[in-house]
Structure 1
Amino acid sequence: MTTDTRRALVVRGGWAGHSPVETTDLFLPFLRDSGYAVEVADTLDVYTEAALLAATDLVVQCWTMGEISKEQVAGLTAAVRAGTGFAGWHGGIVDAFRGSVDYTLLTGGQFLMHPHGYSDHRITLVEDRAGHPVLAGLGDFDVHTEKYWMATDPSIDVLATVEFEAGEDRERPVTMPAVWTRTSGAGRVFVSAIGHKPDDFDVPEVRALTERGLLWASR
């Protein structure tokens, strides 16, 4: 274990179906063991606390749906642009605050739909990003969970993808970003579409890339 020298803020709430407490609890010991003093918030008002965010190296958000005020998103965006990292998974980061364009511009993507239920599908790592710190040493892997169809910003750095097969809804296969990073000013943002339910993180590759993504995004 290392000495706490950095600060992480875990912001969790919104729709209970994404288990915001249970899934973020999976990563609290990891963050502490990685040298973070961890604070947990269950209100978006924390994004208006400029001094707190300025002293925070990493914000981990798991907040599905809901609304974010102009003041809250402005505070979060300003903090990230100044160097605070921002990271999350699944609906907790990309099915949040659909009414806020500024929030979507920060994350680089927004959930639109998923096929009904869970499916077995493969997550394919982008070959020329294999050396990225989030992916290094990992290979393609299979999951049994929701498969997200999203609208994404062309400026994101896509690390892994998922395939949507041709069918009634589309005349040809579509390759969709599943894991990506981006920068905003001096800050880094990490997004993974995987993590609908706590046992998604039982897949070693899912757990590894999520943990690495949190560290990569951090100041």
Structure 2
Amino acid sequence: MRSALIVYGGWEGHDPEECATIYRRWLHEDGYSVRTATETSAFADPSIHDLSLIIPIFTMSKIAKDEVENLTKAVQNGVGLAGHHGGMSDAFREAVDYQFMVGGQWVAHPGNIIDYTVDVTKPEDPIMAGIPTSFPYKSEQYYMHVDPSNEVLATTTFTGEHAAWINGVVMPVVWKRRHGKGKVFHMTLGHQAKEFENANMATIMRRGMNWAARDE
């Protein structure tokens, strides 16, 4: 049986507990054994090296050196990593080794909650199969610093309405990558748990989570 760990906490504005509940339900339905933790000390546990998948939901906050070292080593050795929005890509801002693993870091969301469009760039990828080529979305439009080695599956284009100097910038929204032997999946959608009610968003995230999990 595949096994997963959800570690949630940090800034409450991203509904970490509610999101963890959604992930836990999905994982149980998809045949995983699941455990949860609410402290970053869980990342230092040697047992995480035996997991199939780790899901961080821990916006901002801090992570200790031994915690990030053990986490990144586990992924390098084959444990999958998956997550969404600031719970994964705006976590542990001072931990560059963590950011190197994730493949991106949030830096801005001009205009805050706005209407924008998500464009699928790899409709042939199984994670994106059947998702509309473009679909409307309302949330924070994340402006990211991203790793050019990411395999980008969807993007969004900034209009410049809220920051004129980024007019026309195309920014990754969904990507997957490798970190050592581990698979990493990230989606920048999902400012609040209610966004998981969006069928396109939820389908992408659930497929990406399962893609990232280590093969048994």
State the TM-score bracket (shorter-chain normalisation): over 0.9
Over 3 Å counting, the alpha-carbon distance change for 1:62 and 1:171 in structure 2 is closer
Provide TM-score, normalisation by structure 1.
0.94
Counterpart residue identity of residue 97, structure 1: F
109, 113, 116: which one aligns with 1:114: 109
- Larger deviation: 99-108 or 113-122? 113-122
165, 178, 191: which one aligns with 2:173: 178
Does the aligned pair in 2 maintain the 1:13–1:64 contact within 8 Å?
yes
Q: C-alpha deviations, 1:54-100, integer Å up to 9, x for none?
A: 22100011100011111111100000011100010000001111111
- CA distance in 2 between partners of 1:27 and 1:97 (Å): 21
Deviation at 1:46, TM superposition (A): 1.1
Q: What is residue 16 of structure 1 aligned with on the other side?
A: 12
The reply to whether residue 35 of structure 1 matches residue 58 of structure 2 is no
42, 53, 56: which one aligns with 2:51: 56
Q: Write the mapping of 1:1-219 to structure 2, written as runs, cut at 5 A.
A: 5-50=1-46, 52-126=47-121, 129-139=122-132, 140-167=134-161, 168-170=163-165, 172-219=167-214
- CA distance in 2 between partners of 1:191 and 1:117 (Å): 20
Provide TM-score, normalisation by structure 2.
0.95
- CA distance in 2 between partners of 1:158 and 1:194 (Å): 14
Does the aligned pair in 2 maintain the 1:83–1:186 contact within 8 Å?
yes
Counterpart residue identity of residue 135, structure 1: M
- CA distance in 1 between partners of 2:83 and 2:5 (Å): 12
Counterpart residue identity of residue 126, structure 2: P
Does the aligned pair in 1 maintain the 2:155–2:173 contact within 8 Å?
yes
Counterpart residue identity of residue 57, structure 1: S
- CA distance in 1 between partners of 2:60 and 2:115 (Å): 25
RMSD: 1.1
- CA distance in 2 between partners of 1:171 and 1:117 (Å): 15
Does the aligned pair in 2 maintain the 1:143–1:200 contact within 8 Å?
no
Local SS of the residue matching 1:110 = strand
- CA distance in 2 between partners of 1:172 and 1:138 (Å): 26
Over 3 Å counting, the alpha-carbon distance change for 1:171 and 1:162 in structure 2 is closer
Deviation at 1:203, TM superposition (A): 1.0
Over 3 Å counting, the alpha-carbon distance change for 1:40 and 1:171 in structure 2 is closer
